Amino acid sequence: MKFGVVRFPGSCDEVDALRAARRVGDAELLWHGERDLKGADAIIVPGGFSYGDYLRAGAIARFSPVMESVIAFARDGGLVLGICNGFQVLCEAKLLPGALLPNANLRFTFRQVDLDVVRGDTAFTCACGSDGGLSAHPPHSILSIPAKHSWGRYYADEQQLAALEQNGQVVLRYALGENFNGSLNDIAGVRNERGNVFGLMPHPEHAVDELTGSTDGLCIFASMRLAVEGARV
Amino acid sequence: MGLALVTDSATLPTVEDALALGLTRAEYDLICEKQGGPGGRAPNQLELAMYSLLWSEHCAYKHSKKLLRTLPTEGPKVVMGPGENAGAVDIGDGLVCAFKVESHNHPSAVEPFQGAATGVGGILRDIFAIGARPIAVLDSLRFGEPHLKSQPFPPGGRKGEKGEGEGARSRYLLDRAVAGIGHYGNSIGVPTIGGEVYFEGPYEQNCLVNAMALGIAERAQLVTSAAVGIGNTVVLFGASTGRDGIGGASVLASAELDLSHSPDQNPPLGGDSSGKGPKGHNRRSTVQVGDPFEEKKLMECSLELLGRGLLVALQDLGAAGLTSSASEMASKGEVGIDVDVANVPLREADMEPFEIMVSESQERMLCVVEPANVAAVLELCEKWEVGGAAIGTVTDTGRMRVFRGGELVGDMPVRALVDDCPLYDLEPVKPTRKPYPAPKALLPQNPPRGDAVGARDATAARGWTGGELLLALLSSPNIASRGPLFEQYDAIVQSRTVRRPGQADAAVLAIRPLGEAGVPAFSPSELNPPSRGAGGSRDPNGPVPAIAVSIDCNGRRVAADPYTGTVGAVLECASNLACVGAKPLGTTNNLNFGNPEKGHIAWQLTEAVRGLGDACRALNAPIVGGNVSLYNESPPTRASAGPIYPTPVIGMVGELPDARRAGRLGFARAGDAVAVVGPFEPSLEASELAKLWGWELPDGLPPIDVQAVAAAQAAVRDAVRAGSVTSAHDIAEGGLAVALAECCLAGNLGALVELDDDVEYLFGECSGGFVVSGDRQALEVFSGQTAVRLIGAVEGQSLRIGSQIDMTLSELGEAHAALAELFA
């Protein structure tokens, strides 16, 4: 199992994502100017400020050469995870529905938040069991994961939102009282209709070691491995 | 030399021009002499501009250099001392930690967002300029009183009476400075892991914004700024050069000098206050504008250039831009440098040579490259999408020569520019009158100053209980939770942060980023860390070596007693480190003071530096770098005029063998015993409570037994490392009662404390006291090493002390959250 982690100029959390992915598999950085995905089985579009977030968060990154390949990879059913800025990039690239608006408090905010796993049966949460291991998914669990962003208020129009809920595309919600950015329906993470592209604002790659506060994020990466290797069998 | 300098005496600037640029008559004469030839030679416009910058206080340290020479700068762990872009200490395993603090006070007072942002940008460049990857930022801020609505007793003693405008400027400066720090640090991927902020009247007109950065490098990969190798190429890379920042933090800011003798020249110095100029550039902001995205690319590019061994020397461009970086590189390498300004990439085509040489445009670096490597360097710049251009050559002339194409436009001896600025002796005079007015009382019914027993009786008699004093202190802006500030910073990027702000007295960072079982070997370029299993490895059950860092300075205590107050600031940092189990390795400092040409400021500075040296010697924490910011005072015509409190900001870095044992400040286990450890003999003088009461500053603080404090720190450090205490917190502003409340709030557990209702013991301040909690037997470990006094136990959901304090955690928490309103 190999993860490819995209590196844009201005990416900040790409090495953290790389290290997190390496806890469950192999991983390599992918330079934004190249189209080669180097045989990755799953792609991570990491956090940071790609291209300085100029124009609009994620708006420029989606046009980079590597994203052409990532978009094609996603269209072919490959697993793509977007974290924070990566989520914004995936929305800009129309791989995910909706958009991320400025936080309700209009400030960059860093907080450890509790997330409800709405669906434990997705390619990105199937390992998020109460034991945090690779066991069968439980119906419900809570993850403690840090969030840090200025533009994290999830927005979709009424019709889109209804469709999202109906199709079961909402994967993670902020737990009660944790929705500091004002996201609609407390949405913290959504997937596409097909289920192979997932974006979230909180940073699972920063919740993979007890020493830095939590290991709850590890299950996201473990889930992806499980999904890829399960699909191979 | 083949080219003659064109100097037409009719267009030469005069001594009056030099005076307007901040030079003295004697300094101007000395420059003429240094410029050589019989009887000397008057400098031309470009040369005078360059001299005036390099001979400014900011670059030459002419009022502080002699004092700074008294500081201890050597020790077994020191790898790089003062004089380089940043200092560095050995942290084992072939790695060093580089760190430094710098001020950006004046720009922040003009434009707090960009001032603070570029302050962070500047200090980060200092770190990667020596080949270290920046791993953390801390900041130290000072503002005037914010006049919180939630403070229980606003000035005047009654709610609702305070003027709308009062504190508005301080609140604005704080808000924008915090946003600026966050904007830069968050965007560049370096965590902001700590810092401090104080609010005091004397900072009303002169806020302080100091930023500290840390980096990690392989010892073998450190690079210096000394230009070496005659014939080597000088390459400027990063952002292009514009007119921004001309006349910025330098002496040029006040210049009204008109050097533009030719009609199509621009007003020379940007800060021209006449309001009219030939091309309308004169109202341009003198504050530099930062671009963290540009710096992020510049940082990655610099580290990759160094990682590939393509650079001979590297230096960042800060104050005085190309002028100071090129001259200082030449001075350190004892060589000359020829620069051709025609090759400098410009934002505006019509810039004059002197503008190019003094521009403070941000996000630029200067390096020395062997000619064979120039193409590879420029190619890597292209990869990272940063500009790069060969602009000069290292020569054996010992002269700094500036060309525009084939024309020589400036020619100065490097030694004269960099090393020959005269140094001045301070003339310290201990003030007979108090230089600071008594702070405005914020609590009504104040007992007379200096009468602790009277204070107890008076407060009791006037219906004040200890509980009310505790709430007033917890909501005081200097003590209230910094959470609302820290929440605006990314504290965790880079996967090293073991203790975030609010969790412990000092931030703790794992030296190697926490990764999978086979942590990749650290590589400064970190382009593509080796795959799993390759490189160095961390035993999943082995120790995790870490560093800890703290930054602190209580300016009010330094104002009361510059020597003892500064000793206290150094000890405070070391106490913070002890609470997480760290031992000091080295110290950096930023000396923020008023005008040193005044006797009483000179005395403050002299005494503070003496205290700094003594304390660092006692703790074996040598000074590896620092910065000086003088003239932080306002003209006496303004309200709240005068000098700032003397503020020698101390930053200290320590090591701890195992991050898994890093201490926490919060109580964590009901039933644990609570003890006061160390030589704790508090006094109300110069305390936070004394300030709320409006007591004037005392003339001196009680002396500190530094050895006794150091012994207590060692005892706490050892106990934390051994795991024999559950929590450790140093007793600082607000005294013991506030420290206990902070332990309760951080751990979400109450405590029952049996102590007398002694106002001085509960709220007084001193160095060397700690609150620890743990198993009662385990706390025995302190006896024999330092004083230890069991005072109670962790229990319940309220804090009870003596007969007067009985507060629930939510009451304490509400008071402690007082700063939240500033960012609502």
Can you list the residues of chain A whose pLDDT is less than 50?
130-140
What is the residue whose two structure tokens read 């109460």? Answer: A130
Alpha-carbon span B480 to B488, nearest angstrom: 16
Residue type, B122: G
Taken in order B253, B255, B258, B260, the sign of the CA dihedral is negative
Contact B721, B466 (CB under 8 A): no
pLDDT of residue B409: 94
Q: Which of A108, A149, A210, A225 best tests the B interface by mutation, with the highest count of B CBs <10 A?
A: A108
A-chain residue closest to B516, CA distance:
A23
Q: Which residues, including other chains, have CB under 8 Å from residue B768's CB and lie 6 or more apart?
A: B571, B575, B678, B679, B680, B704, B705, B708, B709, B712, B713
Residue A212 and residue B497: Cβ atoms within 8 Å? yes
Selecting among A32, A137, A149, A203, the annotated active-site residue is A203
A-chain residue closest to B385, CA distance:
A9
Segment 99-138 of chain A within 8 Å of chain B by CB? 105, 107-111
Q: Which helix (H) or strand (E) holds B697?
A: none
Q: How confident is the model at residue B450 (pLDDT cuts 50, 70, 90)?
A: low
Residue B660 and residue A211: Cβ atoms within 8 Å? yes
Q: Which helix (H) or strand (E) holds B639?
A: none
**pLDDT surpasses 60 at B279:** no
Alpha-carbon span B525 to B519, nearest angstrom: 16
Which residues in chain A have Cβ-Cβ distances shorter than 8 Å to B498? 211-212
Cα atoms in the Cβ-side hemisphere of radius 13 Å centred on B484 = 17
**pLDDT surpasses 70 at B38:** no
pLDDT of residue A131: 45
Q: How confident is the model at residue B458 (pLDDT cuts 50, 70, 90)?
A: low
Which residues in chain A have Cβ-Cβ distances shorter than 8 Å to B516? 19, 22-23
Tokens of B764: 């007084």
Q: Which residues, including other chains, have CB under 8 Å from residue B274's CB and lie 6 or more apart?
A: B256, B258, B267, B282
Alpha-carbon span B720 to B741, nearest angstrom: 21
Q: Name the minimum distance, in Å, from the CA of B497 to any CA of chain A.
A: 6
**CB-based burial of residue B189 (10 Å sphere; 0-12 exposed, 13-18 middle, 19+ buried)?**
buried
Mean pLDDT of B744-770: 96
**pLDDT surpasses 80 at B321:** yes
End-to-end alpha carbon distance in chain B: 64
Residue A9 and residue B385: Cβ atoms within 8 Å? yes
Which one has a higher pLDDT value, B333 or B57?
Answer: B333
CB nearest to B544's CB, from A29, A48, A211: A211
Tens digits of residue pLDDT in B459-504:
555 556 889 999 999 999 999 999 999 999 999 999 999 999 999 9
What is the residue whose two structure tokens read 């300029």? Answer: B129
Tokens of B61: 């340290």
Helix (H, G, I), strand (E, B) or coil at B558: helix
Which one has a higher pLDDT value, B89 or B278?
Answer: B89
Tokens of B186: 């968050």
Q: What angle do CA B496, B498, B503 make, to 5 degrees?
A: 140
Domain boundaries in chain B?
A: 9-65+227-418, 74-219+434-823
Alpha-carbon span A130 to A140, nearest angstrom: 8
Q: Name the minimum distance, in Å, from the CA of A147 to any CA of chain B.
A: 9
Selecting among A14, A205, A206, A219, the annotated active-site residue is A205
**pLDDT surpasses 80 at B657:** yes
Q: Write out the DSSP string of A163-228.
A: HHHHHT-EEEEEPTT--TT--GGGEEEEE-SSSSEEEESS-GGGSSBGGGTB-TTHHHHHHHHHHH
**pLDDT surpasses 70 at B538:** no
**pLDDT surpasses 90 at B732:** yes
Residue A29 and residue B527: Cβ atoms within 8 Å? yes
Mean pLDDT of B30-52: 86
Q: How confident is the model at residue B196 (pLDDT cuts 50, 70, 90)?
A: very high
Residue A110 and residue B188: Cβ atoms within 8 Å? no
pLDDT of residue B454: 61
Mean pLDDT of B720-742: 97
Mean pLDDT of B399-408: 94
Alpha-carbon span B318 to B249, nearest angstrom: 10
CB crowding B640-666: b at 16 or more within 10 Å, else e? eebbbbbbbbbbbbbbbeebbbbbbbb
In this structure, what is the dihedral angle of CA atoms B59, B62, B64, B66, given to the nearest 10 degrees?
A: 120
Q: Which residues, including other chains, have CB under 8 Å from residue B333's CB and lie 6 or more apart?
A: B226, B227, B228, B313, B368, B394
pLDDT of residue A35: 94
Q: How many structural domains compose chain A?
A: 1
**pLDDT surpasses 80 at B170:** yes
Contact B675, B716 (CB under 8 A): no
Mean pLDDT of B259-280: 33
Tens digits of residue pLDDT in B359-389:
988 899 999 999 999 999 999 999 999 999 9
pLDDT of residue B521: 32
| SS3 track for B401-439 | EEEECCEEEEEEEHHHHHCCCCCCCCCCCCCCCCCCCCC
CB nearest to B528's CB, from A29, A52, A108: A29
Mean pLDDT of B283-306: 82
CB nearest to B495's CB, from A16, A110, A150: A16
Helix (H, G, I), strand (E, B) or coil at B388: strand
Mean pLDDT of B157-162: 43
CA-closest candidate to residue B73, choices B562, B568, B592, B609 = B609
Residue A9 and residue B297: Cβ atoms within 8 Å? yes
The range of the structural domain enclosing residue A169 comes to 2-232
What is the residue whose two structure tokens read 């609470």? Answer: B579
Q: How confident is the model at residue B441 (pLDDT cuts 50, 70, 90)?
A: confident
Mean pLDDT of B13-20: 90
CB nearest to A212's CB, from B291, B385, B492: B492
Q: Which of B304, B492, B500 best tests the A interface by mutation, with the highest count of A CBs <10 A?
A: B492
CB crowding B239-262: b at 16 or more within 10 Å, else e? bbbbbbbbbbbbbbbebebbbbee
Helix (H, G, I), strand (E, B) or coil at B637: coil
Tokens of A180: 């500091």
Q: Name the minimum distance, in Å, from the CA of B515 to any CA of chain A.
A: 5
End-to-end alpha carbon distance in chain A: 13
Contact B186, B541 (CB under 8 A): no
pLDDT of residue B290: 83
pLDDT of residue B514: 81
> Of B520-529, B654-663, B674-683, B775-784, where does mean pLDDT reach its minimum?
B520-529
User: Number of Cβ pairs closer than 8 Å across A and B?
Assistant: 115
**pLDDT surpasses 60 at B256:** no
Percent of chain B with pLDDT over 70: 85
Q: How confident is the model at residue B283 (pLDDT cuts 50, 70, 90)?
A: very low
pLDDT of residue A53: 75
Inform me whether the C-beta atom of residue A180 falls under 8 Å from chain B C-beta atoms.
no
CATH no. for B9-65+227-418 = 3.90.650.10
The CATH number for A129's domain is 3.40.50.880
Active site residue A84: yes
B-chain residue closest to A7, CA distance:
B527
Tokens of B557: 């205590």
Cα atoms in the Cβ-side hemisphere of radius 13 Å centred on B350 = 8
CA-closest candidate to residue A16, choices A49, A44, A36 = A44
B-chain residue closest to A25, CA distance:
B532
Taken in order B602, B603, B606, B607, the sign of the CA dihedral is negative
Q: How confident is the model at residue B540 (pLDDT cuts 50, 70, 90)?
A: low
pLDDT of residue B406: 87
A-chain residue closest to B658, CA distance:
A211
Tens digits of residue pLDDT in B617-654:
999 999 999 999 999 998 765 556 789 999 999 999 99
